[in-house]
Chain A
Amino acid sequence: MSIIYFLIGCSVIMALLFLFAFFWAQRSGQNDDLFTPSMRILLEDDHIPDPVADAAIKSLAEEKIQKAANK
């Protein structure tokens, strides 16, 4: 069963790799804004106008900003 130490080693290395990636993400501000990114992907040049959905996004955004401001 010695192979399990090798596999644990591999898994731990991968876990450490992911951990470093997580720290990097945290430090470089990847996770500072947990709201805009979800909106940004919807805004593109070829964005097909959809007044109802756009209004919904806008009001959602305003609501969140309001919440953040209240904090």
Chain B
Amino acid sequence: MQPEQFYYDNRIVRNFGIATVIWGIIGMTVGLIVAIQLYHPGANMHNQYTTFGRIRPLHTNAVIFAFVGNAIFMGVYYSLQRLLKARMFSDVLSNIHFWGWQLIIISAVITLPLGLTTSHEYAELEWPIDIAITIIWVVFGWNMFGTIFKRRERHLYVAIWFYIATFVTIAVLHIVNSIELPVSAFKSYMVYAGVQDALVQWWYGHNAVAFFLTTPYLGMMYYFLPKMANRPIYSYKLSILHFWALIFIYIWAGPHHLLYTTLPGWAQSLGVAFSIMLIAPSWGGMINGLLTLRGAWDKVRDDVILKFMVVGLTAYGMATFEGPMLSLKQVNGIAHFSDWIIAHVHVGALGWNGFLTFAILYWLIPRIYKTELFSKKLASFHFWAGTLGIIFYAVPMYWAGFTQSLMLKEFKPDGMLKYPNFLETTLQILPMHVMRSVGGAIYLLGVIVMAYNLFLTMKQGSLVANEAAQAMPLEPVQTVAKEASWHRTLERRPIQFMLLALVVILIGSFIELMPTLTISSNIPTIASVKPYTPLELQGRDIYIREGCSNCHSQTVRPFRSETERYGEYSKAGEFVYDHPFLWGSKRTGPDLAREGGKYGNAWHYNHLMDPRLMSPGSIMPEYFWLLNQKLDTTTTAAKIRAMRTLGVPYAAGYDKIANRDLDKQASLIAANLQTDHIKVMKDKEIIAIIAYLQRLGMDIKANKTANK
């Protein structure tokens, strides 16, 4: 048999590489802007489109799906071709994948600042973009499996297994968490409500971390680290072992994001148990990576690329030890909702994802441009700037997290909260927030230096778009004579068969389960819990649009420090009409689950107009545009109809008269504001959001009064 001549596609690798750098800088710059807004709210440039609640999702989406996403595709397209000794299956699919992904990111950059969001964290993009993501993801999978099928290397190296797991799992997670009922072109309601919605979201949320930020990067680590150090992985057996362990265990860790909420206790415990188990396979990867360098540590001293890898792997080890610890209920009770979590994720993101990406870029760009890196000194500068940046970022955030959480839990000897005013604890940690933004800026500076360095590297070399390679073709597997039955043919194709089976089963269970799930979730267990009025529903959508849930939770945990501060702890039955749930994951400001009736309408009006009027020193943005913008009531009917479809018990035909009720309630609020000498038209958005805020937690309060 003659060896076959073929060419690796380096252009697609280069394209994804450039996209990684550009989106990295953009995503991190947005991150820096939101970080500054946390101590200097004026940094929103007094513009609704650049205010924290709208661009914090832009930051997370840009760094996860644009920066890390493009880096994954860069790494996969480079290593997959070489591991399989084959060019990518189809150049057309490669290009559709590349440009499709960039278009999705651009549509995120446009829609998120406009406030078009589902409010599901890391899944904020609205339904048309969700569909586009699904299509492009399938294109990626098609291209990847196509390459696997035409490979010239029988054995699938462990990295490829990680890539396959990434593809399959992300596909399922994305679809399940994006089941929305469209109301208009860019507005939809989650099919699930309340607790169920929360569980789906965090089942997705945690596995997005697992299968987008972890498995593809472990796969890349298994290819690039041995290449960089020019020595084999410490233990191939361990890599196989921890791969299978990791993918089997990860899937149920999600509920640790919902400890002490109204999620049933057994589901919480399930999440904790799986999270603790995760230490073993996670550390298996880290140890395997670090031990690969045994006997080569002298190389680490000189080679900046290996330095990035070592710090990256160490950050992975720290984050995956901290994760299980954070999922212990006692630790979680303090850490959750605080800056501790922000520190935790950034150790992972900046250290593990960031540093691995940089190492791969520094290694791969000179290779496909057949040249040397332009400047090792600048790369070394980047390494130290990055490392210092992470430290200056993480340490203040840990400090801030502990400080604020402990302050919020502190009681005086007489049994009263020591800091009854939430704002006091915020002001205490502002210096740490300043330091954190300095750390982030240093890290960003490093990335900009890298971009410059890589640009000059590309300039001094020239791209080998099609790299020649040779390999023996695979000997065909002995097959029995062709049988007529299509099923027989399918049986001989295990992967297609499995995929087909998966699709069939998923569709089947979806059709069968969904109606029951959505309707039964709306059976009220608390009689006094009623659907939102049309005005409140509109106000709730403004709350979602402005991203209020990025800073305010809506779930009171059963701690005395919280019931004293906020009121009665939350019950599952309170959320049955919440499509989507709005529990949030961070308390930059106080919880709002019991906000209704705490202050007058005038207080809310003034507070939204300028928070510092009512709470001097507050870091909340000014929502002045709510005062001027007219509430769009043309959507009311469609929204009520959608809610009815989802099982919310509005009377039949209510959609036609909903605006009448809306108008009535708005007039009452406007009249009430008038008594406080605030003149505002009843058709402004602020009226709707005040109505919603005043409703929060009122059903439970009504229940109490009724029972007395």
Q: Give the interface of A toward B (CB within 8 A).
A: 1-7, 9-11, 13-15, 17-18, 20-22, 24-25, 30-31, 33-35, 37-42, 44-46, 50, 53, 56-57, 60
A15 to B169, CA, bound (A): 10
* CB <8 Å contact, B517 and A53: no
Binding site for A on B (CB under 8 A): 82-83, 155-158, 161, 164-165, 168-169, 172, 176, 192, 195-196, 199-200, 203, 223, 226-227, 230-233, 236-237, 240, 244, 247-248, 251-252, 263-264, 267, 295, 467, 469-470, 494-495, 498, 502, 505-506, 509-510, 513-514, 516-517, 520-521, 572
Given A20-B494, A25-B156, A10-B232 contact (CB < 8 Å)? no
Q: Shortest 10 CB-CB distances between A and B: which pairs?
A: A3-B196, A38-B232, A38-B236, A53-B230, A34-B237, A11-B251, A38-B233, A34-B236, A6-B513, A2-B517
* CB-CB under 8 A for A38 and B226, given A1-B196, A13-B502: yes
Q: How many Å lie between the Cα of A57 and that of B226 in the bound state? A: 11
Chain B interface main SS type: helix
Q: How far does the Cβ of B660 sit from chain A's closest Cβ, in whole Å? A: 35
Contact yes or no, A4 B199, CB < 8 A: yes
Q: A4-B267, A10-B509, A13-B172 are in contact. List 20 more A-B contacts (CB 8 A).
A: A2-B196, A3-B200, A6-B176, A6-B509, A10-B506, A13-B506, A15-B248, A18-B244, A21-B495, A34-B236, A37-B158, A38-B236, A40-B155, A40-B157, A41-B83, A41-B227, A42-B227, A45-B469, A53-B231, A57-B230
Q: List 13 A-B contacts (CB under 8 A).
A: A1-B263, A1-B264, A2-B516, A10-B172, A18-B244, A24-B494, A30-B156, A34-B237, A38-B232, A45-B470, A50-B230, A57-B231, A60-B232
Residues of B with C-beta under 8 A to A24: 494-495
**Max chain B C-beta neighbours (<10 A), residue from A22, A35, A38:** A38
Minimum C-beta distance from B140 to chain A (A) = 18
The answer for the CA separation of A17 and B497 in the assembled complex, in Å, is 10
The residue that B226 contacts in the complex, of A13, A15, A42, A50, with Cβ under 8 A, is A42
Q: Contacts A3-B521, A57-B231 hold; do A22 and B513 have CB atoms under 8 A apart? A: no
Whether A10 contacts B176 by the Cβ 8 Å rule is yes
Contact B517 A18 (CB under 8 A): no
Please give, as numbers and ranges, the residues of chain A lying within 8 Å of B168 by CB-CB distance. Answer: 14, 17-18
Residues on A with beta carbons closer than 8 Å to the beta carbon of B517: 2-3, 6
- The CA of A9 and the CA of B176, in the complex, are separated in Å by 12
Q: Does the CB pair B155–A30 fall under 8 Å?
A: yes
How distant is A50 from chain B, measured CB to nearest CB, in Å?
6
A15→B237 CA distance, assembly (Å): 21
Which residues of chain A come closer than 8 Å to B505, judged between CB atoms?
Answer: 13
Verify B513–A5 contact, CB threshold 8 A. yes
Cβ contacts under 8 Å, A33 to chain B: 155
| A39–B232 CB distance below 8 A | yes
Task: With A3-B200, A4-B199, A44-B82 as known contacts, state yes or no: A57 contacts B232, CB within 8 Å.
Answer: yes
A58 to chain B, nearest CB (A): 11
Return chain A residues, CB-CB under 8 Å to B236.
Answer: 34-35, 37-38
CB-CB under 8 A from B470, the residues of chain A are 45
Contact B498 A21 (CB under 8 A): yes
Contacts of B240 in A (CB 8 A): 31, 34
A22 touches B172 (CB 8 A): no
Cα distance A31–B236 when bound, in Å?
10
Question: Contacts of A53 on B, CB cut-off 8 Å?
Answer: 230-231
Give chain A nearest CB distance to B3 CB in angstroms: 10
Which chain A positions have C-beta within 8 A of B157? 37, 40-41
Chain B residue nearest to A15 in the complex (CB): B248
Question: A67 CA to B428 CA in the complex, in Å?
Answer: 62
Contact A22 B244 (CB under 8 A): yes
Least CB distance, A35 to chain B, in whole angstroms: 6
Q: Give CA–CA (A10, B470) in the complex, Å.
A: 42
- What distance in Å separates the Cβ of B291 from its nearest Cβ neighbour in chain A? 12
- Is the CB–CB distance between A9 and B295 below 8 Å? no
How many angstroms from the CA of A31 to the CA of B693 in the assembled complex?
A: 59
Specify which chain B residues have a CB less than 8 angstroms from the CB of A35 in the assembled complex.
236
**A14: B residues at CB distance < 8 A:** 168-169, 172, 251, 502
A13 contacts across to B, CB distance below 8 A: 172, 502, 505-506
